[in-house]
Structure 1
Amino acid sequence: MPFTPYGSNPFLPAAEDGMWNWIDRLGLAEDAARRQRLRHARAGLMAALVSPTCDAERLTWLACWTAFGFLVDDEFDDGPLGRDLARCQSLIGELTSVLDGRPDSQPADGGALRRAMDDLWQRIVPGRSLGWIRSARMNAGAWLSTYSAETADRVADRLPGVAEYRLHRRDSVAGLLYMDLVEAMIEIDLPETVRQLPQWQALRAFAADHVGLCNDIYSARKESDAGYGHNMVALIRADQNCDIRSAAHRANAMATGYMREFLDAETQLLAGTGLPPDTRVDAAHCARAYRAIIRGNFDYHLAAPRYRDR
């Protein structure tokens, strides 16, 4: 890890209080088991580590988004919806409809989750550019669609190969969406000319790859025990017929490669001569924010009970 720790946002206590008030107001964690899993996840800590400089209001909003992501994840990975393709697709359709601004339906499974996503989405869209909205909508939709893909794999008793999974994981970890959200945290909205640059897209892709692989490494034992196969360590283990420790080391080597690619893309982007000075400053600020996501995600997995206990 080439980046020194950025530390935790000092507004973490206020953000966690606001996050739990939001969770309780929307009835997102009313049963004891779900609430305990969410406490172990420390969503507020994750937000505070990846966005260490934003104000309390924005940090609270990011903590709510992070908690929402954990709730959705647990709904499919541990719950019955992740083994029932029709119900899974129904809920994903409801959540995706929020991004499209479609009228409310009569949700069978996801009423609270849908209300939560609508609340989060409506709080961030005003004032953002069409380019940012398009990016966040695309990346949120891609994240949600991975649950349908994994449920279909479970029903068919199928697992992807390593190369296929890498692209899937880039979306399923919601790393690209998180980068969109953090751009809003630092109040930067880059022009479309930057968003279309190959170096910019590579920068974001390798950051998301690293975030997803880090999560896979630290959750490998827990997910192996649960029989959950959509994990790079598990797929390397099956592909190369090795034990879990050897597979984790090989996954870690892949993560190191992603980090080198990230740094190369960052250098190429910021050395480009075609960007106006103000735009280059904003791009550099975003690149630093992405570094904080990478380092904060790494530190989070060492601290959160959801991963540390294993």
Structure 2
Amino acid sequence: MILSDLLGWFSCQDDSADDDCTDPQALEHLLRGVYSSAFASSATAQGPLAAGLTDIIRRAARLAPPLWKARAGQQYANYLEPCTTALMHRTHHTQPGVEGYDSLWRNAGGFQLCLEFTYWAQNIYLPSSLYYSQPWQELRRLALNLFKAVNDLLSFRIMENPDEDTYNVLTHLRHTQGLSAHEAAREVSRRIDQWAHAFSDAQAQLPHRLAELGYDEQAVHAVVTCAHALHNQWRGNIAWHLAVPRYREIRFKGV
């Protein structure tokens, strides 16, 4: 129930950021208010978005250690910059450049907060030495790439004006490399295949790499369990996008 509520909350958040808010400063104020309400215990929820996420985090945090809530808060904070920057670009009819794009792109969908619920759903909370280890962070980064790229690929054609979605990687490729929509889709499909294979390879090598770094069997088992959940999650994300009727619509008429 909590996970479905989180999905519904992000739908409302996206609508607010994409359609309801036209002032970057107002959006930043809104997002910071949501953050303060959901992750700072001294703050009072103001508005339905803040109240909604606060309730979700409160219910989830009852079943998790305090560090989980702190990490979830950090990941939501990482969502603030790309969300506000995207509105700034829409307001001024500009597009982001190449420098620094990948990091903002990866965090633009809010998937990094959803990944924190992967640990919560498994009831596995990685210690800092594992959470920030290179093997795990590499796998996590590949999963985020897959989440965002699949969303971008399948949502591009349902938009009448994809230029407004500045952190859609197809839009970015069209503006920075001069690709057509078809060429950009083909390039993103290639990247998805590449990242999927890289994820599978990294997942298979994970036990050996962690053992080489000196982690014990219990720690390795915890990370392997989380990796399996991540694998199911990004594959499920593909299946969900393919099953939802609105992603079969074609509104884009350009080339």
Shared fold, TM over 0.5: yes
Matched residue SS, 1:222: coil
Partner amino acid, structure 1, of 2:148: G
Question: Shift in Å at residue 133 of structure 1?
Answer: 2.6
Per chain length, whose mean CA-contact separation is higher, i.e. which structure has more relative contact order (CA < 8 Å, sep 6+)?
1
Match of 2:138 in 1: 202
Instruction: Return the alpha-carbon distance in structure 2 between the equivalents of residues 299 and 163 of structure 1.
Output: 32
Query: Which among 77, 82, 99 is matched to residue 146 of structure 1?
Result: 82
Question: Shift in Å at residue 180 of structure 1?
Answer: 1.0
Partner amino acid, structure 2, of 1:262: F
Question: Shift in Å at residue 164 of structure 1?
Answer: 3.2
Query: Which among 160, 172, 180 is matched to residue 243 of structure 1?
Result: 180
Question: Shift in Å at residue 266 of structure 1?
Answer: 2.2
Q: Is the 8 A contact 1:200 1:265 kept in 2?
A: no
Question: Shift in Å at residue 179 of structure 1?
Answer: 1.5
In the alignment, is residue 300 of structure 1 matched against residue 240 of structure 2?
A: yes
In the alignment, is residue 72 of structure 1 matched against residue 13 of structure 2?
A: yes
Match of 1:112 in 2: 48
Query: Which among 29, 37, 40 is matched to residue 90 of structure 1?
Result: 29
The answer to which of 159-168 and 70-79 deviates more is 159-168
Question: Shift in Å at residue 149 of structure 1?
Answer: 1.7
User: After superposition, what is the alpha-carbon deviation per residue over 1:245-282, rounded to whole angstroms, capped at 9, x for unaligned?
Assistant: 11100111122222233233323432121222112111
User: After superposition, what is the alpha-carbon deviation per residue over 1:186-242, rounded to whole angstroms, capped at 9, x for unaligned?
Assistant: 211122211120111111011001110100000111235354232111111222223
Query: Which among 191, 200, 218 is matched to residue 127 of structure 2?
Result: 191
User: After superposition, what is the alpha-carbon deviation per residue over 1:164-201, rounded to whole angstroms, capped at 9, x for unaligned?
Assistant: 33211211122222121022112111222111201111
The answer to which of 177-186 and 126-135 deviates more is 126-135
Instruction: Return the alpha-carbon distance in structure 1 between the equivalents of residues 92 and 233 of structure 2.
Output: 35
Instruction: Return the alpha-carbon distance in structure 2 between the equivalents of residues 268 and 211 of structure 1.
Output: 21
Percent same amino acid among aligned pairs? 24
Matched residue SS, 1:289: helix
Instruction: Return the alpha-carbon distance in structure 1 between the equivalents of residues 115 and 165 of structure 2.
Output: 26
> Unaligned 5+ residue runs, structure 1?
1-59
Partner amino acid, structure 1, of 2:170: V
Partner amino acid, structure 1, of 2:184: A
Question: Shift in Å at residue 140 of structure 1?
Answer: 1.4
In the alignment, is residue 160 of structure 1 matched against residue 96 of structure 2?
A: yes
In the alignment, is residue 278 of structure 1 matched against residue 218 of structure 2?
A: yes
Q: Is the 8 A contact 1:173 1:208 kept in 2?
A: no
Match of 1:101 in 2: 41
User: After superposition, what is the alpha-carbon deviation per residue over 1:124-151, rounded to whole angstroms, capped at 9, x for unaligned?
Assistant: 1124234433321111111233221212
Match of 2:253 in 1: none
> CA RMSD for the aligned pairs?
1.8
Q: Is the 8 A contact 2:78 2:107 kept in 1?
A: yes
> Unaligned 5+ residue runs, structure 2?
251-255
Partner amino acid, structure 2, of 1:195: Y
Alignment of 1:13-92 (within 5 A): 60-79=1-20, 81=21, 83-92=22-31
Match of 2:61 in 1: 125
Question: Shift in Å at residue 74 of structure 1?
Answer: 1.2
